[in-house]
Chain A
Amino acid sequence: AQSVSQHNHHVILSEAASLELGCNYSYGGTVNLFWYVQYPGQHLQLLLKYFSGDPLVKGIKGFEAEFIKSKFSFNLRKPSVQWSDTAEYFCAVNAYNNNDMRFGAGTRLTVKP
């Protein structure tokens, strides 16, 4: 079964700093990849997704992620974070045609104003 690991549990940045959150998955077959965000007190929302095609995926709010198949990675990036990006970020994967979506443990991002 697939699994997901997120390397950073808590990241603290100042506004305008660049962000990169690591995500690695273990599964040998075709996968769909996702980043979800959970703002304080709110439900999980989709930031971006990769199904196929261009491995560089752009999402909402200036986020992007790059799928590197050889490294089994799907890292999330943003060139300049804002205070409003403070949230918990979850990487998720499901195998193609499998509805068992596996989530990482999450990375809490705190952006200092």
Chain B
Amino acid sequence: DTGVSQDPRHKITKRGQNVTFRCDPISEHNRLYWYRQTLGQGPEFLTYFQNEAQLEKSRLLSDRFSAERPKGSFSTLEIQRTEQGDSAMYLCASSQVGNTEAFFGQGTRLTVV
């Protein structure tokens, strides 16, 4: 499968724990996006990388959230001290420079109990 892959697909964690998600974009894509989607809502933009540089961050991305893309390939999204309000589907997407069509992964569903 050469699409965007995300790991894990599901994560259940206790409130206060840290969690980390991984995204592997389509190999030739140099842009990578993170979105969050809650029930009944469309995806909300969190942050965006071009290669290893994090170029945009939404105000939704509180200081408990951090994203990295150290070598310009895969990316990780970490949430520290999780809260119940963090429960959502976290989506990753990738695209090429000059073409803003984004390809989405299947997402990581986070449940904070």
Instruction: Enumerate chain A interface residues (CB-CB to B < 8 A).
Output: 4, 6, 9, 32, 34, 36, 42-46, 49, 51, 90, 92, 94, 99-106
- A-B pairs, top 5 by smallest CB distance, nearest first, are A103-B42, A44-B104, A43-B106, A99-B48, A103-B43
Q: Is the CB of B42 within 8 A of A90?
A: yes
Supplied contacts A34-B101, A99-B56, A106-B41, 11 more A-B pairs, CB within 8 Å: A43-B4, A43-B107, A44-B43, A46-B101, A49-B101, A51-B100, A99-B33, A100-B58, A102-B45, A103-B35, A106-B42
B82-109, CB under 8 A of A: which get 1 and which 0?
0000000001010000001111111100
Specify which of B41, B55, B104, B105 is in contact with A99 (CB 8 Å cutoff): B55
Please report the C-alpha to C-alpha distance between residue A34 and residue B107 in the assembled complex, in whole angstroms. 20
* Chain B interface helix/strand/loop/mixed: strand
Shortest Cβ distance from residue A32 to the other chain B in the assembled complex, whole angstroms: 5
Instruction: Enumerate chain B interface residues (CB-CB to A < 8 A).
Output: 3-4, 31, 33, 35, 40-45, 48, 55-56, 58, 91, 93, 100-107
Given A32-B100, A43-B104, A43-B107, is A103 in contact with B44 using a C-beta cutoff of 8 Å? yes
Specify which of A9, A32, A44, A105 is in contact with B91 (CB 8 Å cutoff): A44
